Amino acid sequence: MDTGGHGGGCEHCVEQGEGLAAAGVFVPYTERFGSHPPLVSDADAQLIIHIPFTASVKLQSLVVMGDGDSAFFPAHVKLFANPRAVIDFSNADDLEPTQELDLAADALGVMPHLVNPPKFSSLSSLTLYITANGSGDDDEQTRIKYIGLGGEHSALVGSREVVITAYESRPQPSDHKTKADAFGGTSSIF
């Protein structure tokens, strides 16, 4: 996906505290092995990542690359398309996800997980709820090095500039001055 539709720097990760930027894992595909730090859950396996978009997105696939030992790679994710409410740990398990995916351990960032395209065809935001990692132990941290989103983006309908137009359905002679009017004469445009 072209990163033009991605609101880089605006993501946040609930597990590590309000407002913590998780943008470091959203890098171009060719930079996925870079020196950027991984996203690490705080005290357990769960992470919530909210991704706002600056354009309408049609999501087709998701790549989640783990970091370090495969036991710490994310193993299960719930995806919420355009969530109506803020998703946090108090309500994440109670809400119906748009789709759930079992993630394969991916140390290279080469395993796309396909989503159901009609359910993700007009995204303005996406929330990922990582519920488990490969350790099988809820007390072990999850480590993510890269998240890739595959699909297309287009301009948001509501984000277009306002166009101010004026039109006349019937000409009003008083609105149209002629040269004769400027010199004190009389004229008619009809």
Query: Please, are residues 77 and 129 in contact by the beta-carbon 8 Å criterion?
Result: yes
Could you give the number of structural domains in the chain? Answer: 1
Supply the CATH number for residue 132's domain. Answer: 2.60.120.470
In a domain, 151, yes or no: yes
Rounded to two decimals, the pTM is: 0.73
In a domain, 172, yes or no: no
Structure tokens at 145: 């090095």
**Polymer length of the chain:** 190
In a domain, 90, yes or no: yes
Over the stretch 62-107, which tens digit does the pLDDT of each residue have? 999 999 899 999 999 999 999 998 999 999 999 999 999 999 999 9
In a domain, 28, yes or no: yes
Which of the four pLDDT bands, split at 50, 70 and 90, describes residue 187? low
Over the stretch 132-173, which tens digit does the pLDDT of each residue have? 999 988 889 999 999 999 999 887 555 555 555 555 556 666
In a domain, 19, yes or no: yes
In a domain, 50, yes or no: yes
Q: What is the dihedral of CA 4, 8, 14, 16, to 10 degrees?
A: 150
Over the stretch 110-122, which tens digit does the pLDDT of each residue have? 999 999 999 999 9
Alpha helices in the chain, H assignment, sequence order: 179-182
In a domain, 175, yes or no: no
In a domain, 22, yes or no: yes
The domain in which residue 136 lies consists of: 3-159
